[in-house]
Structure 1
Amino acid sequence: MTAYRHAIDRKVAAHEAHLLLQNDFLILDTETIGIDRNARVVQIAIVDASGQPAVDTLVNPGMPIPADAMRIHGITDAMVNDAPSMADLLPSLESLWSTHPTYIYNAEFDSRILLQHIGRRPGLMRSTCIMKLYARFVGQVGSRGDYKWHKLTDACIQLKVPRIDAPAHSALGDCLRTLAVLRAMSEWYVRNSA
């Protein structure tokens, strides 16, 4: 990939971020147990365009939380014991995301996990993957010749996002970090679009 091509892709990605922020949107994140076809949601958060939580709840996955997952997000069986299930939450979640575009850092993962959890595609969810947008913005070529994906925490460091007062690997914290990454790309566009 040429430097010229990357410069164009960077500006296009930043412009897209700028345009995405003009919408009334939601940002969604989940914390899970597992990443395979048996993965389950243990926490879900949705924030609005101003960063205010519309949803921030633990979720009872209907199975024990493995120790390795607990070490990552700190969510225990006792914490989710009285939490609602995804089936309980689904009607209110679908009413939110059916009326607003939904932005997700690693949309393929969260969409797949929701699909597995509820047994069907999340109704009317129009999602945009902020991770892929950020990958175009950075322009680092991966081993397959496409843009390399970056962890959300790395994106925040690279963009010098101010510290967010919510733990990493919490659904709410990751929603707020995704919003901050989107805003930082938009700010880059504004500074460099003269």
Structure 2
Amino acid sequence: MRDDDNSDACDETPRAEDKCYTRGRLRDEFRLKPAPGAEPVRWYKNGYGGKYGVYRLADCVPMQAKRPQTEKQQQASARLGLQARMKSQRGRSARLAHLWLIQEPLFLDTETTGLDAGAQALEIGLVNALGEKIFETRLKPTVSIDPAAAAVHGISDDELLRAPSWPDIAPQLQHHIGWRPLVIFNADFDTRILKQTAAAHNAPASWLDTLTVYCAMRLAAGHYGPTNRYGTISLSDAVSQAGLSWTGEAHSAVTDAVMTAQVVNNIAGYWHELQCEMNDDAGSEPA
């Protein structure tokens, strides 16, 4: 039994004022505390080897009401709360998203033949932060599409028979990316796929190592919280957490890139809200 568990601990309670309660019950239910010098009516042992007492209502006095905060105290509390939100994981993620966006990044996504070490890209989508399409193509891989992957994106081997191969589109992709950073949802996976695709065609891929790449999946997991046992979050969960609606067909490269851009913009929006609150707070201080 804990200090805040029982209500009536005395055996005989003929009158309301004679009922006995623990300190916790007195505080939480009655806003009372034992009067100075009041002794417990009885002592009880708790499950941790300690003991606690119970007091009669008649031996208690009202707890002092909290004084209302002054305007200056309210401003100080609000400022501390704002600083805490800015330093929180959510706030730090939002600031990071803001820093990414001011670099004018591009958002990339791929659809693949599978997930293993031999998987290749069969569709690539590239958009800007506004969700405007910069580049889109399908690719003819050198391996067959895994049925599990086909069930997700709906692309078949027959649809890719006339598609260009990686060596045909790599220069265009490199040109469109240029100096700009890439933001990718699950960046480690997509960059691995691009390198595997280049390797399958014996094409040079050293330029892929020179790219600045940011992972939107880790950013979203930090801002919204992880939603799986791997400590990460899926794009669909991030879209849902952000309160966004899908524009286009999910699991197409361009659509997923567009939604990644929207998620990052949503996260950065929280940082902008905090900055507005900071500016309002600064403006409210006396000169």
TM-score by length of 1: 0.88
1:187 match: 269
User: Which structure 2 residue ranges, 5 or more long, are not aligned?
Assistant: 1-83, 200-204, 278-287
Q: Which amino acid aligns with 1:190?
A: H
Cα deviation code 1:55-87 (max 9, x no counterpart): 111111123223222211011122211111112
| Residue 5 of structure 1: how far off its partner (Å) | 9.6
126-135 vs 96-105, which moves further: 96-105
2:224 aligned partner: 138
Matches within 5 A, 1:57-136: 57-119=137-199, 120-121=205-206, 122-136=208-222
Distance 1:96 1:116 in 2: 20
5+ residue gaps, structure 1: none
Count, aligned residues:
187
Q: 1:156 aligns with which of 239, 242, 250?
A: 239
Instruction: Select which of 26, 30, 42 maps to 2:106.
Output: 26
Q: Confirm whether residue 173 of structure 1 aligns to residue 259 of structure 2.
A: no
Q: Judging changes above 3 Å, is the alpha-carbon distance between structure 1 residues 51 and 140 closer, same or farther for their aligned structure 2 residues? A: closer
1:141 positional shift: 8.9
Identity %: 32
Change (3 A) 1:142 1:63: closer
1:128 is matched by which residue type in structure 2?
Answer: Y
CA 1:48 to 1:6, structure 2 compared with 1: closer, same or farther past 3 Å?
A: closer
The residue type paired with residue 73 of structure 1 is H
Contact 1:98 1:126 in 2 (8 A): no
Q: Name the residue aligned to 1:50.
A: 130
- 1:152, distance to aligned residue in structure 2 (A): 0.2
Which structure has the greater CA radius of gyration?
2
Kindly report structure 1 stretches of 4+ aligned residues shifted beyond 3 Å: 4-7, 139-144
Q: How far apart are the structure 2 equivalents of 1:35 and 1:6?
A: 37
Deviation at 1:134, TM superposition (A): 1.1
TM-score, normalization by structure 2: 0.61
1:50 aligned counterpart, secondary structure: coil
- The alignment yields a C-alpha RMSD, in angstroms, of 2.1
Summarize the Cα distance change of 1:140–1:52 in structure 2 as closer, same or farther, 3 Å threshold.
closer
* 1:6 shift after superposition: 10
Kindly state the Cα deviation for residue 10 of structure 1 after the two structures are TM-superposed: 1.1
Distance 1:63 1:73 in 2: 16
